[in-house]
Amino acid sequence: MKSKSTLPPYICTYSGDLLAGVDEVGRGPLAGDVVAAAVILDPGSPIAGLADSKKLTEKKREVLFDEIREKALSFAIARASVEEIDQLNILHASLLAMKRAVEQLSVQPEFVLVDGNRKPRWDYDCDTVVKGDDRVAAIAAASILAKVTRDREMVALDKVYPGYGLAGHKGYPTRAHMEALERLGATPAHRKSFAPVRRQLELI
């Protein structure tokens, strides 16, 4: 029986220390901002266990969240709002959030690695890495910061808009969320340009 293939590590031509990884979380949900993070790791303070945030338990993410913030040379967390998502579309809002995150780093990077296959419009030397959160430590760290931040925000929104289950599904279009949307209507935290929300608003 053949073993499952694994992605090779990404080989970056940049060999200095000021390498930033950037990733975003929240493109698929019907509600909430899209959140991005950028991280420059410290080669002298390695962090064990970095991986795609989606593949880690919530407890492990929380532990790594604190460790990344403590040990990174620099990190920043940014977002694009629900209003910006509706105005720009989710792809361009995600790129905007990533651009903001990198620009807010207290230490400016010499090279940036962007998760995915699209990069923001900027003047940084950079490259894109498909499935980068599985292949580049700095991108994995960014994905963890972004996911923990967004998850916490959705838990807080659940208290503002009870009945939708936002703390559980984090805004993703689960059956429970769709049923709540149909029953209760859309909130200001919902993305009006997303089809399920738009259809509900058209019924009003």
Residue 140 to residue 131: CA distance in whole angstroms:
10
In terms of Cβ atoms closer than 10 Å to its own Cβ (0-12, 13-18, 19+), residue 76 is buried
Report whether 23 belongs to an annotated binding site: yes
Of 71, 74, 121, nearest to 98 by C-alpha is 121
Report whether 24 belongs to an annotated binding site: yes
Residues 192, 193, 195, 197, Cα dihedral to 10°: 0
Report whether 115 belongs to an annotated binding site: yes
The alpha carbons of the chain give a radius of gyration, in whole angstroms, of 18
- Which pair of structure tokens corresponds to residue 87? 């105005």
Residue 37 to residue 23: CA distance in whole angstroms:
6
Q: Cβ contacts of residue 107 below 8 Å, gap of 6+?
A: 18, 40, 73, 74
Residues tagged in the binding site annotation: 23-24, 115
Residues tagged in the binding site annotation for a divalent metal cation: 23-24, 115
